[in-house]
Structure 1
Amino acid sequence: MATNRKTGAKTDGLHRAVQPSAELGAIVGDKPTTRADVVSRIWSYIKKNDLQDAKDRRTIKADDKLSKIFGKKEASMFEMNKHLARHLKPAG
């Protein structure tokens, strides 16, 4: 894992600061954060709101907020990061 020599901060893709879009910010907050935090907050939101399919836990049933992120009513956990990437830009 890459680190910044001066600060010791992790600089790989998961730990680089990103800015969520307004739609994603409604779920994870609108302040710059790391991609790892975004994914963690999305999973917390999914579990808190019981949005995983009962029979196939790999399927996420999108509510109104997640529909804006996914662009559809359900998505697999494997394609979730692809949808999140469209709503993240480098912070700075």
Structure 2
Amino acid sequence: MARVLGGCRALMAAANAGAKVEAPAPKVAAKLKNAGIVKPLPVSPAMEKFVGASEISRTGVIKKIWEHIKLNQLQNPSNKREIRCDEKLKSIFEGRDKVGMLEIAKLVSAHFLKPN
């Protein structure tokens, strides 16, 4: 029993001595900036017209869509998970009148073109 507690004291002393967790190296952080869903990709003409850019990340598109929804008060007040589409949103959501909150990412993915 003494060995177990003695080992814990040694570990606690090392932890209290100021052992810091190091941040990732700058190279790793730079790689993560342009990977996955934060990587800017070319978009379809309809999406380009909506966001105003020929290349944008998936997260950037979602942010722009939510800005538009909040600005124009398109969320259904009785069911917050439902979005009522205006003409601008219909152009990117396949002409649908209503879209579920969880469907947005799926509908947006069709507008990202595959890079060559």
* 4+ residue segments displaced more than 3 Å: none
- Greater relative CO (CA pairs within 8 A, separation 6+): 1
TM-score (norm 2): 0.66
Could you say if the C-alpha distance between residues 74 and 6 of structure 1 is closer, same or farther in structure 2, counting changes exceeding 3 Å? Answer: same
User: Is the strand fraction higher in 1 or 2?
Assistant: 1
CA offsets 1:65-86 (integer angstroms, 9 cap, x no match): 1112112111001011111001
**Residue 78 of structure 2 is aligned to residue 81 of structure 1:** no
Identity %: 27
| Structure with max Cα Rg | 2
Q: How many residues align?
A: 89
TM-score (norm 1): 0.81
Alignment root-mean-square deviation, CA: 2.2
User: Is the helix fraction higher in 1 or 2?
Assistant: 2
Gaps of 5+ in 2: 1-26
